[in-house]
Chain A
Amino acid sequence: GNSVTQMEGPVTLSEEAFLTINCTYTATGYPSLFWYVQYPGEGLQLLLKATKADDKGSNKGFEATYRKETTSFHLEKGSVQVSDSAVYFCALSRNNDMRFGAGTRLTVKP
């Protein structure tokens, strides 16, 4: 079946450091791929998405590229801020079946 695997956390970085959170997926055909962010006590918010191979999704300085050849959708940001501290979820949707990774907790220290 369809599934998502993302790097285990927690991840702790200093402010202005470079961020990478790895995400790989298993799916038949061509799923749509998403990154969501969850702040404490809240629901998930869409961060970015990509719907076909080689698409790059971007938002608020975050980027991720849909790599069909490596079945990956890694999240990157060049310079993180304290306000980026949250849990990040990678997800895919295929035939209206959405699957989420386990989430990666990011803490950014001043």
Chain B
Amino acid sequence: DGGITQSPKYLFRKEGQNVTLSCEQNLNHDAMYWYRQDPGQGLRLIYYSQIVNDFQKGDIAEGYSVSREKKESFPLTVTSAQKNPTAFYLCASNSGTGDNQPQHFGDGTRLSIL
């Protein structure tokens, strides 16, 4: 079955440490997205990529970085510059061919601070 795999499911970060969240898809989608979800809030866009080797900042990109070296993979690094990283992180993808294409989501990574 095609889908999106996020790992790990739970992650803990120490002070001053960078951590990387993995996102892999086998849906042959061109576009991939990273969202942050905080309790009682909707999803906020961190970064997105419409094609390999290209990505753009979303609404809350500060303290995060991404890469898109392969179509299937879109890892997110939470850097030490992100002072409030505790949240649920969701990766999504779609074909990117139009507004009528829904996004498909992974099961998320919950990041906490030690």
Chain A residues with a Cβ under 8 A of chain B: 4, 31-32, 34, 36, 41-46, 49, 51, 89, 93-96, 98, 100-103
Contact = CB atoms under 8 A, between A and B. Distances in A.
B105 A43 contact: yes
Dominant SS among interface residues on chain B: loop
A49 B102 contact: yes
Contact of B107 (A31, A34, A42, A89): A42
Contacts, number: 55
A43 B102 contact: no
B3 to A, nearest CB: 10
A44 B90 contact: yes
A3 to B, nearest CB: 10
B100 interface: yes
A46 B98 CA distance: 16
Contacts of A96: 31, 50, 96, 98-99
A51 B100 CA distance: 6
Interface stretch (B13-21, B40-48, B64-72, B73-81): B40-48
